[in-house]
Amino acid sequence: MLFNSYLFLLLFLPLCLAGFYLLEGRGLGTAAKLWLVGFSLWFYGYFDLHYLGIMLGSIAFNFCVYRGIDRAQEGALERAALQSGSGTGALQWKETVANAVAAVEGAARPLGLSRLLLAVGVCGNLGLLFYFKYYDFFVENVNALFGTDWALRHILLPLGISFFTFQQIGFLADAYRGQVGKYSLLDYGLFVSFFPQLVAGPIVSCEEMMPQFSRIGSRGFCWKHLTGGLWLFTLGLAKKVLLADTLGSAVAYGYENAAALSGTDALLVILFYTLQLYFDFSGYCDMARGLAHMMGFEIPVNFDSPYQADSPIAFWKKWHITLTRFLRRYVYIPLGGNRRGTVRMLLNLFLVFLISGLWHGAGWNFIVWGALHGAVYVGMRIRQIYGRERPVRGRRTERLLRILRVAATFVFINFTWVFFRADSLAQAGTLLGRIVTGGFARPSSAIADAFRLGEFWYVMKVLRMDRLPGSDLYLCAAFTLVSLGLVFFVPNAGKLEERFVPDRRNMILTAVLFLWCVFSLSGVSTFLYFNF
């Protein structure tokens, strides 16, 4: 089920909120959790019942591993307590257990069975991900390298598998470190399946969500949460429906006809995809956060105006923040982080970017995308470590240099997104090559027509603007300028929600924007990150 669909907006969401508020208001915490789990399973199963079976199997497997790790560590703590204490009194026993817990938490987690279970859990999750996402890619490359003829399975990728797999790996790792409490299957199932962030993130952690879920049934209704969440959801919906989908029409034409584009069209298509991807994915995350806020929950921010970053390092602090956090906690630090010298640190950083590229898709274009970001990131870290301190400059000079850095970073991001969007390295090379060989001319009518939305074109006709020279490009230019203005000069949606006041003016604005989006759903598309 899609957030931007009539079924979700007119049936699923009202029923979900009404039932949850009713059960929550009566203090029925368990029933409210069951209600959310049931709706989450409906939300996910609507795409394909086979997907639902895979997710439920993954939840059951990981919950069993988690309970095994928890019991193994309880046994280790009890043995440590017995070995460190000689008395039998209740007070002394409590002190002994507390000392053992402190000793274990201050050092490495207990090895043995818990470590084995963690390895089983991680391998099981990665094995599931490999089979559905990377099997054909692996077989294709083995066949090409060794001349074998292993058959491809053409396996359909379950939606959200990369997200809920990483989320559960993080949970098991935290459980192994002793950072996870005791949770029931219902709590764990809600943690994994919670529908706002299930399919495309953000990637949440146990420490963020479990304490909030534990308070279900003891909280009252909050009008501010509902209205603020509705405002944030509407902003995300507008990003997706009004901006991303419109830009996406031009992008789809450009990549399908890359060899025939002019240099001008190629540059526009590259720019449009950069904007489309941001509005699409950040729009989804805004909708996810808005839905959670409507029910009184807080899920982490995933985007913080990333195209305003003045370096690739700053960009990765603002783009897909929860994935960057996951890779830092569960890949970079276990690899050694910065604890084993500068060379090892730089190598670890580069490996993290390669893994990030491969996580996004099974293709060499994704690996190249990750390698490009990794190489530039490592280069900038080397400069930070070994570079000389810059002389003090005036405020105007610093401001101009920052503008130039933001522009250079944005150009680099545009270039690398080509590999992210292309179906293959060959298609990426073709599109980039057209910038040089395609010549520069007036944008093609096929690109301009993507922006000829009925409501705007009607207004232009009423005002007789359609008779002006070059009128077919007016909407294309307007969408481009408005989109660039939003990404460079407007605060992100989360900050706009913080400033939101549920007065008459803002509620009318929300209603108008929401209805505009609903009336524009006929040409809706799925979210781009559903493919990852």
pLDDT tens for 32-43 read 999 999 999 999
User: Is 320 designated active site?
Assistant: no
Band of residue 386 on the pLDDT scale cut at 50, 70, 90: confident
d(CA 105, CA 177): 8
Task: For residue range 106-161, list pLDDT tens digits in order.
Answer: 434 445 789 999 999 999 999 999 999 999 899 999 988 888 888 888 888 888 89
Q: What is the mean pLDDT of the chain?
A: 88
d(CA 185, CA 213): 13
Helices (DSSP H) in 321-464: which residue ranges? 321-327, 342-360, 364-386, 395-421, 425-437, 445-449, 454-462
d(CA 367, CA 356): 8
* Amino acid at position 114, single letter: S
> How many residues comprise the chain?
532
pLDDT score, position 265:
95
d(CA 163, CA 532): 9
pLDDT score, position 224:
83
pLDDT score, position 532:
62
Q: Do residues 247 and 272 lie in contact, with contact meaning Cβ atoms separated by under 8 Å?
A: yes
pLDDT score, position 107:
38
Q: Do residues 269 and 444 lie in contact, with contact meaning Cβ atoms separated by under 8 Å?
A: no
Phi, psi torsion values for 431, nearest 5 degrees: -65, -45
Statement: residue 89 has pLDDT above 60: no
Options 50, 154, 225, 360, the catalytic residue = 360
Task: For residue range 146-200, list pLDDT tens digits in order.
Answer: 888 888 888 888 888 999 999 999 999 999 998 998 999 999 999 999 999 998 8
Statement: residue 392 has pLDDT above 70: no
d(CA 396, CA 412): 24
Q: So where are the chain's domains?
A: 6-221
Helix (H) or strand (E) holding 219: none
99: left (phi over 0), alpha (psi -120 to 50) or beta: alpha
pLDDT score, position 221:
78
Mean pLDDT of 255-272: 94
Statement: residue 408 has pLDDT above 60: yes
Band of residue 98 on the pLDDT scale cut at 50, 70, 90: very low
Band of residue 90 on the pLDDT scale cut at 50, 70, 90: very low
> Judging by beta carbons within 10 Å of its beta carbon (0-12, 13-18, 19+), is residue 331 exposed, middle or buried?
middle
Q: What percent of the chain has pLDDT over 70?
A: 91
Q: Do residues 221 and 295 lie in contact, with contact meaning Cβ atoms separated by under 8 Å?
A: no
Band of residue 251 on the pLDDT scale cut at 50, 70, 90: very high
Statement: residue 459 has pLDDT above 80: no
DSSP 453: -
d(CA 59, CA 202): 18
Statement: residue 91 has pLDDT above 50: no
Task: For residue range 55-64, list pLDDT tens digits in order.
Answer: 999 999 999 9
